Amino acid sequence: MTATFTLIEAAVREIETGAEDSFGTFEVVGNSDLFVQYMQRTINARYPFRIDPAQNLRTFTFGSVEEWVADEYVWLDVSLPPSEMAAWIDRYFREVLGCDADYQLTWKREQ
């Protein structure tokens, strides 16, 4: 487990136990364009592709694509237990947003 994964997992657990309208924004240190926002059962994330995310993200677990704009963002319905959600977010940063294995994040809780 990396320090980044530990941070993500703790943040997901905090969001899950918070108010229903609370969410967390994760950003890569030094590049705030690379972000994932997590709300209970929902992901909003930078999506740097023109390909339909339903096809491009087919190896990721999610219920549906709620909305997306090519080269901008994607909204996904994702319902996983906290540790699996943390792994999902970490994997998205690495595989979709192209972060190195030792990438670092900041996060803030919002409402």
Are 24 and 107 in contact by the 8 Å Cβ rule? The answer is yes
3-state DSSP percent of the chain in helix, strand and coil, to 5: 30, 35, 35
Distance in Å from the first CA to the final CA of the chain: 29
Q: What is the pTM of this model?
A: 0.95
Please tell me whether residue 34 adopts helix, strand or coil conformation.
Answer: strand
- The Cα diameter of the chain in Å comes to 35
- What pLDDT, on a 0 to 100 scale, did the predictor assign at position 99? 97
* Confidence band for 111, pLDDT divided at 50, 70 and 90: confident
Write out pLDDT tens, residues 56-109.
Answer: 999 999 999 999 999 999 999 999 999 999 999 999 999 999 999 999 999 999
* Confidence band for 21, pLDDT divided at 50, 70 and 90: confident
Please tell me whether residue 15 adopts helix, strand or coil conformation.
Answer: helix
- What pLDDT, on a 0 to 100 scale, did the predictor assign at position 87? 97
For the chain, give the mean pLDDT. Answer: 95
The owner of tokens 């219920």 is 63
